[in-house]
Structure 1
Amino acid sequence: MTKARPPIPGDLPTGLRQRQRADGTWRVWWEPSATRRTVGMTPVELDPDRPTAAVRAAEDLNRKADRLLGRARPTVKGVVDQPRSLEEVANAWLASPRVRGLSDSSLRNYTYDARRICDHWAGTQARLLTRPAIVLWYDALYDDHGPRMAQRLVRTLGTMLKWAARRGYIATNPATDLDMETPARRARVVSWPEFDALCDAADALELPWLRRAMELAMYQGQRPKDIRELRFAALSMERIDEDPRADPRLTWTLVRSKDRKRRVTRLAINAAVVGWLMPLWQQAEAKEALVIADAKGRAITTERLSHAFHAARTVAAETCPSVADARFSDLRRSFSTVAYRNGVDPSNVDDALGNTAGEDPGLRQVYMPASDIAAMRAVDAVTRPNRKE
């Protein structure tokens, strides 16, 4: 028997089949794949005498299967056709100018959160996420990792989906009004005996740069990134006090890493730090050299600082068990606590920290900008009783 021309010429839609029978007639049908059968799709017989209708029917069946499998393209009016998967949305969000313009630490945190989110929702289309599903994920995170990590990851998801909704990648942001528990802010303060134990541990580990970093955090109240990036060129002798009879002070000129307005700040150096910082500054051959560096002059990364502090904490805990839960970031909070307790006005402490206070931080920056003198008062207030040898 001579094989006749098939009723549907050319390329066929996915799943569309046609075969000539022994009697010369043709069978045309749509055959679902094994994956499509798992969502209830079954073979459908089509009319070989109506080839155009058969092709349209096969395309409709393909779209139905994609919807059931969560692969369908957005059909909501005004929704852009890409990106579709949550992974694609996450990558586009991380590559957006707003996120790329964040600090290195913020970008690192968002990248970590996005990876955790995509690991959980792998293969899920962003438009198919629902509020109930996100709430169930929050509850699971809460049980496994506690309220802080649960809130952090779900908030990052919400930020990402809000960005996607504004750009038309999804119709709405489902990660809103979730009634998440706000965990209490960390209030850990390092006591002077604990601080001494940490410094002694740094000495025992032969890590002089770690001790210097901890003293800059405890006595100056600055963030780890700003401490790690301090260069001798940023130090100078300046007269900060308005009294012309006042002696010049060793000062640190910096642009804080989290200050988007890139304002220049002069910070007086605490007397406890001047003792070792002044000789290093005067003897430094290269003013662009880092103050906090290892024996080979190499910069200290975030990870290295974290690992070194954990090692020192472990050693310190042998003689001072209470220090076992301390973090490097607690030293900055300790600075502000000591300054408050020694009678410094909160606004002066804010000037030293680089934070803002009050109900409207924006207005406070406009009408009460940071003051070098106020910051100096806070720095000078961080004093301690004489250490008992």
Structure 2
Amino acid sequence: MGLKKDMKYDFTVYGRLHLIDGKQGKIRVELVNSKNDVIAKQVINITNNKWQKLTATLTSPQTDAKGLMRVYLEKGSESVDLDHISLFPEDNWNGLRADLVQDLADLKPGIFRFPGGCIVEGTDLDTRYEWKNSVGAPENRPLNENRWRDTFPHRLFPNYYQSLGLGFYEYFLLSEKIGAEPLPILSVGLACQYQNDDKDPNAHVAVKDLQSYIDDALDLIEFANGPVTSKWGKLRADMGHPAPFNLKQIGIGNEQWGPMYPERLQKFMEQIHAKYPKIKICGSSGPSADGKDFDYGWEQMRKLGVDMVDEHYYKSPEWFRSNASRYDKYDRKGPKVFAGEYAAHAENDPNSWEAALSEAAFMTGLERNADVVYQATYAPSSAWA
């Protein structure tokens, strides 16, 4: 992690003595530079067998782009239990890096899609992103495995988890801070279709059992916009934002395809429109920019009458340049287009100048056809951050 000279870093941990009849434990927290030198340290005493929030402040005497934090059990200490370990620079903004928040604001974005993406679906339904787990006190938010932890055999990340420290409340705050309209995406009840067999009755939620998923969507809108007298509006107020976030749109599902998607989406639309008729609903045309699944997806989205259709394309730079006119002849009478994920991937160099130039050429077509392309979000907004 990067360290800045004279920056204060606030360390927080929940700790307790491991043994009921324990007396005292000690941990040592260190800031370490890239040469493995300890440049700051604090000792914290743990004297209770009940969970307690413990804190320390460390000041870095130097700048180092590749520093790290270490936590040690002091020699001779009794055993302790630790949970929810965190370290934030004092200039953080609501738990987020201030420099990255400013970088996002400098882009002057109009739309901010969150949390994605395949993370919404989960490898299975149990590991899907559940927004209700991401609000309330951060230390009480349950850990979830990251969607990409072991998806690819050649890129295994066994320790890749989600703390949900950046949850939906922080997301709405961030959207407000940078002046972007939020677009939350929720599960439609389908786990990742790449990794699950649609014929497996246990892979996805049956249509008759969708109500809890639909309630999640309705409750999220209440969390964002509801009065402080409502259940979820009160939680928003208790977290520090009594005013509504003025959510205007919501996406249901990510890269779904086939008949299982529209039959589930319809159930969401019926109840969302009934309770929140002004909320725009974004559907999906699947993971591809063309082909039979794409055509079927658009056909079904038109029949359902969604407000927007989310199109995704990860293609070569040549594809982006040759498709700058993609939307010139799109139907102006149907749903609007949301270019929800797009990126040019040059061979062996995905973040090249050629890729950027090709994406820019493609974007001229988005702007030229703004009457049908309602909004667009590049994927991802941050890499190696």
After TM superposition, the score normalised by the length of structure 1 is 0.23
Q: Which structure's relative contact order is higher, taking Cα pairs within 8 Å and 6+ residues apart?
A: 1
After TM superposition, the score normalised by the length of structure 2 is 0.23
More helix by share: 1
More strand by share: 2
